[in-house]
Structures are given as structure tokens and as C-alpha cells.
């Protein structure tokens, strides 16, 4: 029985975590919200009378900005479009954001939290908002697949490292431009 209790995850109230001390690590989701959203269906209502087989595309990006006092806003922008041949059936653009208190971590740890954990936390909210908007637009439910933000973050780090290595190895021409 003692072994089982050692594996329990204990979630503390953020106000209690602040009382622990200034050097304690804190990661608290303060707020989530829709920052920007648009939906277009340029072929409505005619699109509903056809047997279109849409091809759906997802474009995803995220950004962050320091808000001071150990608070960081992380925003996740998703663009989903569905086309049948060259005709756009619908287009949804959503920026979903969250304010995270991140305190007591090294710069490298904070970068990983902001680049992986925070988008991973926001994505289910954004996914739900996208699905609901598409359904309210008169289209069948669209189920966006889960995304591995840890893998995306690692891949981005590897690409940056490769670019830095290539830049350091590339020969210089003494200031000449071609």
C-alpha cells in the first residue's frame, strides 16, 4: 500500500505553491482564451447540395511573449481549409492562447515548457473550438488528430542546430556578394 501512494500525482493549489517560496518551481495555467477566430464558407449554400469530397489541410504554428512577473502568453494558431478540386468549401483560422506562470526553471527548461508543454496544453481547447465551428458552419464533424508537440520541439531544435553547424562550416568570401 505504501508503494502505491508514492506514485500518486498530487496537484497543489497555485496559491499554496506561491507560499512555498520564491525559488520553488511553478508552472500554472492562469487563463485560456480565443484570441482571434474566423470562419468562411464561400460556396454556401450551394456546397450543401453537392457530393463534394473535400481534402482538408491543417497548418499549425505557435508563438509566445513575455508578459512580465513570470507570466508568458503562448498562442497556438491553426488554419484548417477544406477544398474540393480548386474550390474552397470552408476555411477556419483560430488563434487560441493561454497565460502560463512559469517560475523557477532554467532558460532551457522554460524554452521546452513554452515550446512543447504549453502548446500541448492548448491544443485540445483549440481542437474543440475548430470542430464546433465547422459543425456550426453546416459541415460534418472534423476530428483533428493529436499532435506530438514534444517531437515537433525536438525536431525544431535539431533543425536549428543543423543550421548553426552549416553556417559555421560555410566558407566566407571576404565580404563579396554574388
Instruction: Enter the pTM of the model.
Output: 0.77
The three three-digit cell numbers of residue 13, written as one number: 493549489
pLDDT at 11 over 70: no
**pLDDT tens for residues 144-158?**
999 999 999 999 899
The b-or-e profile of 116-146 (16+ CB within 10 A means b, else e) is: bbbbbbbbebbbebbbebbeebebeebebee
**pLDDT tens for residues 46-94?**
988 888 888 999 999 999 999 999 999 999 999 999 999 888 999 999 9
Q: Quick check: 26 and 69 in contact, CB under 8 A? A: no
Residues shown for the chain: 178
pLDDT at 7 over 90: no
The confidence score (pLDDT) of residue 62 equals 92
pLDDT at 1 over 70: no
Looking at 3.20.20.70, 3.30.429.10, 3.40.50.10470, 3.10.420.10, the CATH number of the domain 21-165 comes to 3.10.420.10
Per domain, the residue ranges of the chain are 21-165
The confidence score (pLDDT) of residue 173 equals 42
Q: Quick check: 90 and 40 in contact, CB under 8 A? A: yes
- Once rounded to an integer, what is the mean pLDDT over residues 15-42? 81
pLDDT at 14 over 80: no
The confidence score (pLDDT) of residue 52 equals 80
Pick from 117, 125, 122: nearest CA to 153: 117
Can you point out the beta strands (E) in 41-125?
Answer: 55-68, 71-84, 87-103
Quote the distance between the C-alpha of residue 35 and its chain's center: 13
Q: Quick check: 89 and 80 in contact, CB under 8 A? A: no
Strand, helix or coil for residue 171: coil
pLDDT band at 169 (very low <50, low <70, confident <90, very high): low
Amino acid at each position: 500500500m505504501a508503494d502505491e501512494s508514492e506514485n500518486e500525482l498530487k496537484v497543489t493549489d497555485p496559491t499554496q505553491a506561491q507560499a512555498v517560496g520564491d525559488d520553488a518551481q511553478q508552472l500554472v495555467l492562469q487563463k485560456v482564451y480565443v484570441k482571434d477566430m474566423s470562419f468562411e464558407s464561400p460556396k454556401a449554400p450551394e456546397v450543401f447540395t453537392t457530393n463534394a469530397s473535400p481534402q482538408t489541410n491543417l497548418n499549425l504554428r505557435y508563438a509566445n511573449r513575455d508578459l512580465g512577473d513570470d507570466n508568458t502568453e503562448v498562442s497556438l494558431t491553426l488554419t484548417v481549409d477544406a477544398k474540393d478540386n480548386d474550390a474552397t468549401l470552408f476555411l477556419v483560422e483560430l488563434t487560441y492562447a493561454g497565460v502560463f506562470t512559469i517560475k523557477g526553471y532554467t532558460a532551457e527548461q522554460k524554452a521546452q515548457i513554452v515550446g512543447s508543454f504549453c502548446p500541448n496544453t492548448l491544443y485540445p481547447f483549440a481542437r474543440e473550438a475548430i470542430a464546433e465551428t465547422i459543425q456550426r458552419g453546416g459541415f460534418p464533424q472534423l476530428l483533428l488528430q493529436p499532435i506530438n508537440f514534444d517531437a515537433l520541439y525536438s525536431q525544431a531544435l535539431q533543425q536549428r542546430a543543423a543550421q548553426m553547424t552549416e553556417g559555421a562550416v560555410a566558407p566566407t568570401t571576404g565580404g563579396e556578394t554574388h
